[in-house]
Amino acid sequence: MTNMRLNLKLIAVLAALMGPMLSTPAHAERLKDLASFGGVRHNQLSGYGIVVGLDGTGDQTTQTPFTVQSITAMLQQKGVSLPPGTQLQLKNVAAVMVTASLPAFAQPGQTLDITVSSMGNAKSLRGGTLIMTPLQGADGQVYAMAQGNVLVGGAGASAGGGSTQVNQLSVGRISGGATVERAVASNLGADNQVKLELNSTDFATASRVVEAINDKFGPGIATALDGRVVRVRVPSSSDQRVAFLGTLENMDVRPADAAAKVILNARTGSIVMNRAVTLDTCAISHGNLSVSIGADTQVSQPPAGSRGATAVTQNPSVSVKKDAGKVIMLNGGASLAEVVKAMNAIGATPQDLLAILQALKAAGALRAELEII
């Protein structure tokens, strides 16, 4: 009897401890997955450079004059003067475009991974070395310098007029190939506030974010400006601000249900629907009409020695085939699974679904937003 009472007490204690965990929403997501801080972003960098040291797989200078101009300018900067009228025949050089992404809060001295892409008709960048290349931002300022050995993941070979290739040989990467030379100014925390920008506009989600932050840190800490931006008051001290933002990012917030939406790709026939898509009571009819057009070509050859000419005639043939149509009845409130099952039952192809879904939307039976891409 005593053991039973102890067990009951233990169960009660465990239930009290697990109560808060069981009450946590099942579909809660971290705030860092739902939103980002305003002003904290990557910046794209690009630059024009030269890759040297190629094994005869560089640009054909007769078709890419900018490669020769670049080499001539580089040699002049190095103090090498070419005689007037010199025609350079370069096979181991290629003009390239260098791109990189500068992360937020990057400081001088940090390294970045870069991508090197051929601009001319170089056959391969394998084994090449990128010469020092300045990388500029959208404002024209130089933020990084790139240089290093290009790593190409592809492979290729040719002999006797035949060739084979695996992956892309005209694009390569250099791990840590760029060094940051200039930091991007950031005003994060200015006026003791930051702005949380939701990944998608949703007033219900913005309201829940404000409610969760105020419940944790106190009333008035967060204020929703609209359906996408939430303003949050932060500590004035940089140490406290960083700790506060770290805690803020890891908060769990249950986002609002996504709006019913159907995405149609008219080029590929792809259709994607989320689980919120439903139908009102409706009937769908579908029939297939196939038209086949062919031609039977016949050649009439005259006997040997005769003066007749060879004649070619075509006997065209046209046939029309119509499959039996089907009518499917869908009750109101049909779920996504029922919609897909009904479409498969009538034998609708992705291209047919494009027309069927548009007709359902026009009839007011489809409870979803149609987006054609």
Q: Of the given ranges (193-207, 258-272, 317-331), which has the lowest mean pLDDT?
A: 317-331
Those residues with Cβ within 8 angstroms of residue 248's Cβ, 6 or more apart along the chain or in another chain? 31, 196, 213, 232
* Tens digits of residue pLDDT in 259-317: 888 888 877 777 788 877 877 777 776 665 444 545 566 777 777 766 667 776 766 65
C-alpha span between 130 and 117 (Å, rounded): 11
* Tens digits of residue pLDDT in 80-93: 888 877 777 788 89
Select, from the ranges 56-60, 126-130, 334-338, the one with the highest average predicted confidence (pLDDT): 126-130
**Cβ neighbour number for residue 140 with a 10 Å cutoff:** 6
C-alpha span between 287 and 348 (Å, rounded): 9
C-alpha span between 137 and 45 (Å, rounded): 5
Q: What is the average pLDDT across 38-55? A: 92
Q: What is the average pLDDT across 321-328? A: 59
**What does the pLDDT read at residue 19?**
41
Across all residues in the chain, what is the average pLDDT?
79
Which tops the pLDDT comparison, 144 or 76?
A: 144
pLDDT at 222 over 90: yes
CB 337 within 8 A of CB 279: no
pLDDT range class, residue 3, cuts 50, 70, 90: very low
**What does the pLDDT read at residue 8?**
36
Residue 326 belongs to what H/E stretch? strand 326-330
pLDDT at 161 over 60: no
26: β partners:
none
pTM confidence score = 0.67
Q: Of the given ranges (65-74, 238-247, 249-258, 312-321), which has the lowest mean pLDDT?
A: 312-321
Residue 32 belongs to what H/E stretch? helix 31-34
**What does the pLDDT read at residue 305?**
66
Those residues with Cβ within 8 angstroms of residue 88's Cβ, 6 or more apart along the chain or in another chain? 61, 68, 71, 72, 82
pLDDT range class, residue 52, cuts 50, 70, 90: very high
| Structure tokens that stand for 237 in this block | 């001290």
**What does the pLDDT read at residue 13?**
38
**What does the pLDDT read at residue 94?**
93
CB 275 within 8 A of CB 337: no
Q: What is the average pLDDT across 121-125? A: 90
Domain boundaries, the chain: 43-154+166-180, 187-253, 261-298+313-372
Q: What is the average pLDDT across 350-356? A: 75
C-alpha span between 233 and 231 (Å, rounded): 7
**What does the pLDDT read at residue 12?**
39
pLDDT at 160 over 70: no
CB 254 within 8 A of CB 29: yes
Which tops the pLDDT comparison, 290 or 244?
A: 244
**What does the pLDDT read at residue 130?**
95
pLDDT at 351 over 70: yes
pLDDT at 5 over 60: no
**What does the pLDDT read at residue 128?**
93
| Phi and psi based region of residue 181 (left: phi greater than 0; alpha: psi -120 to 50; beta: remaining) | alpha
| Structure tokens that stand for 364 in this block | 């007011």
- The torsion defined by the Cα of 218, 222, 223 and 226, in degrees rounded to 10, comes to -140
| Structure tokens that stand for 342 in this block | 């009904």
